[in-house]
Amino acid sequence: MSLLFSSLIFLLLTSFLFSLIITKILVKIMTYLKIVDKPEKRRVHNITTPRGGGLALVLIYCILLPIFEYYWTGYFNYSSDIIQLLIPIALISFLDDIIGVNNSFRLFIHSLSSFLAILWLIHPERILSIDLPIIKNIPMLADLIIGTFALMTFLNIYNFMDGIDGITAMQSIHFSVFMILLCFLQSNNINNVGFIITTSILILGWGVGFLFYNWHPA
């Protein structure tokens, strides 16, 4: 138990330090490349503000997640699938920051990535059909549709938040802390609990580090 706790603390500190360093570098790069938000009626910024800070989370996730999954399990399983889904979402978001992307195309990428996430990471386990008698006998397609729509909605709501100082980081911290507590309290009832804790700690470390740059005035 002490070894596990030490490993989790090390992961948290590593994610936090990476967040501080990578975000600072990205701020300088984005400012130099003029990838910025300028004050206007539809923006909440009062000054020119760099965009693309979310790339820090993508880099931290893609580097640390497979390393720690292999350290604890001896193989790459979920990390490879998640990274394949994360990269298209990150690329389309970054392109939207730079040149703007058609909303329909961005929604298509989000929908496809959400569908594959449910298909690869959850299916054939059930999402809601085990709890709702009305759809208990409906094929697994119902779960795929419900899960895809829920995840796609979450992606877009999360993406919509990032214009307000501190809100994305605070929501990420709140979400990851809740997931960590839930995993420890209900570890016997949650599949792949170790992987979920690892992911949540990575997000927590990134969120705290990112908050140093994203707190008002960001």
Tens-digit pLDDT profile for residues 147-159 = 889 999 988 888 7
Radius of gyration of the chain, Cα coordinates, nearest whole angstrom: 19
From CA 149, how far away is CA 62, in angstroms rounded? 25
Structural domain contains residue 80: yes
Structural domain contains residue 193: yes
Closest CA to 94 of 152, 50, 60: 50
Structural domain contains residue 196: yes
Q: How many structural domains compose the chain? A: 1
Structural domain contains residue 208: yes
Structural domain contains residue 51: no
Q: Give the pLDDT confidence score for residue 28 in this predicted structure.
A: 87
> Domain range for residue 177?
7-35+56-214
Q: Please state whether the peptide bond connecting residue 124 to the residue before it is cis, i.e. omega within 30 degrees of 0.
A: yes
Q: Give the pLDDT confidence score for residue 20 in this predicted structure.
A: 92
Q: What is the mean pLDDT of residues 1-18?
A: 84
The encoded tokens of residue 211 equal 């908050």
Higher pLDDT, 173 or 68: 173
- pTM metric for this prediction: 0.82
Whether 176 contacts 168, CB under 8 Å: no
The mean predicted confidence, pLDDT, of the chain is 81
Q: Residues 108-125: pLDDT tens digits?
A: 888 999 988 888 887 666
Q: Give the pLDDT confidence score for residue 174 in this predicted structure.
A: 92
